[in-house]
């Protein structure tokens, strides 16, 4: 009654791994979930949106990779300090919201003198902010030299919230289909 060595070895390997696997079951088990996500609630106030927008600028939006706030000198991309003032006056008859929207959805529309075009589209991958998130970014941009006025119900040339008023006349034709129209489900990096 001799068991072949190969079977014994296989048995030993099996028993050893099973033993360590068993040791692993004895210790406390805890699944670590990724950090909680803040959800863009439908009832966010403008102040909330500014906060989220600021986080988006640094995080998911990657804006601060190129842009600066309050820096001067030899810059490769426009500084954003006081940008709301400039946005509201640059194109006569165009509100700052529309200006920002156009800059974000169609980045090469306005090129500040002295800079080269090079800004990626924000609402498409790889950055891919949702329309609501872009509204938050606009809210944040408005604080740079202005007063934030947008809400999640604000519509502009590129985006009309569900049930919201249609875009202001004279805006650019809509070429971005709102894909995510349920604000409650749009997660945002905190």
Residues engaged in binding other proteins (CB under 8 A):
1, 5-6, 8-10, 12-14, 16-18, 20-21, 23-25, 27-35, 58-60, 62, 64-65, 124-126, 189
> What is the smallest separation between the CB atom of 20 and other proteins, expressed in angstroms?
5
Contact 53, 114 (CB under 8 A): no
Residue number with CB closer to other proteins (92 or 125) = 125
2/69 Cα distance (integer angstroms): 80
> What is the smallest separation between the CB atom of 14 and other proteins, expressed in angstroms?
7
Residue number with CB closer to other proteins (169 or 179) = 179
> What is the smallest separation between the CB atom of 22 and other proteins, expressed in angstroms?
8
Residue number with CB closer to other proteins (34 or 169) = 34
| Cβ-based burial of 107 (10 A; exposed 0-12, middle 13-18, buried ≥19) | middle
| Cβ-based burial of 73 (10 A; exposed 0-12, middle 13-18, buried ≥19) | exposed
118/63 Cα distance (integer angstroms): 12
> What is the smallest separation between the CB atom of 30 and other proteins, expressed in angstroms?
5
């Amino acid at each position: 009654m001799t068991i072949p060595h190969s079977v014994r070895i296989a048995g030993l390997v099996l028993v050893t791994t099973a033993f360590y696997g068993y040791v692993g079951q004895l210790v406390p088990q805890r699944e670590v979930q990724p950090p909680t996500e803040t959800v863009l609630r439908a009832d966010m106030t403008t102040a909330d949106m500014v906060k989220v927008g600021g986080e988006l600028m640094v995080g998911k939006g990657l804006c601060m990779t190129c842009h600066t706030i309050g820096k001067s000198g030899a810059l490769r991309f426009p500084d954003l300090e006081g940008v709301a003032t400039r946005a509201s006056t640059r194109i006569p008859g165009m509100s700052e919201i529309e200006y920002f929207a156009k800059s974000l959805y169609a980045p090469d529309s306005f090129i500040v003198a002295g800079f080269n075009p090079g800004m990626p589209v924000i609402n498409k991958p790889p950055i891919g902010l949702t329309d609501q998130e872009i509204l938050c970014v606009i809210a944040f941009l408005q604080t740079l030299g202005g007063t934030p006025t947008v809400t999640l119900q604000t519509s502009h040339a590129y985006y009309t919230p569900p049930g919201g008023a249609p875009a202001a006349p004279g805006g650019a034709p809509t070429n971005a289909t709102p894909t995510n129209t349920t604000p409650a489900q749009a997660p945002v990096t905190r």
